[in-house]
Structure 1
Amino acid sequence: MFSNIGIPGLIIILVLALIIFGPKKLPELGRAVGQTLGEFKKSTKELMDDEKETIKEIASEDKKKK
């Protein structure tokens, strides 16, 4: 997703965030973004695990039928 952004791009983004949100809000904003990304990763992992479990169940049912 962010693989095309290099070091200069990250520096520009950080400077803009500092200007827009100020130094007092920046840690709070970073924490919120980190928590949101963590929840997103957790949900994605749970979804993938559910899909793998469903595939295993279907495969075991197919083996029982044969």
Structure 2
Amino acid sequence: MGGLQPWHWLIVIAAFILLFGAKKLPDAARSLGKSMRIFKSEIKEMQSDGKADDATPTPTPIASERAEPVTPTPAAEPAPDTRSA
């Protein structure tokens, strides 16, 4: 009683055929399959990128290797306005 019985599936299939038409159903299934393949490949790529990042951690510099702070140079004064008023 909890699951769908075969006659339930027949009603669902008939409703899809009536709503979308027999010509558009193969195209819809094809595009759904392409979307699922793209989604799966993106998930695998994200997982492989995550594993690659975890495998090579970035080293942190030791205190003696750190660069000394750079002092900012004073900004040059702007040129005087030579336009005549």
TM bin (shorter chain) = 0.5 to 0.7
Task: Name the one with the larger helix percent.
Answer: 1
Cα deviation for residue 7 of structure 1 reads: 5.1
Structure number with the bigger relative contact order (C-alpha 8 A, sep ≥ 6) is 1
**Could you say which residue in structure 2 is the equivalent of 1:55?**
54
- What residue ranges of structure 2 are gaps of 5+ in the alignment? 61-85
1:1-66 → structure 2 map (5 Å cutoff)? 8=5, 11=9, 13-58=12-57, 61=59
Measure, in 1, the Cα distance between the counterparts of 2:38 and 2:45.
Answer: 10
Closer/same/farther in 2, CA of residues 23 and 57 from structure 1, 3 Å limit: same
Closer/same/farther in 2, CA of residues 31 and 7 from structure 1, 3 Å limit: farther
Cα deviation for residue 15 of structure 1 reads: 3.5
Closer/same/farther in 2, CA of residues 49 and 14 from structure 1, 3 Å limit: farther
**TM-score normalised by structure 2 residue count:** 0.53
**TM-score normalised by structure 1 residue count:** 0.66
Closer/same/farther in 2, CA of residues 23 and 45 from structure 1, 3 Å limit: same
Bigger Cα Rg: 2
Residue identity over aligned pairs, in percent, reads 29
Aligned length: 57
Question: Greater shift after overlay, 36-45 or 11-20?
Answer: 11-20
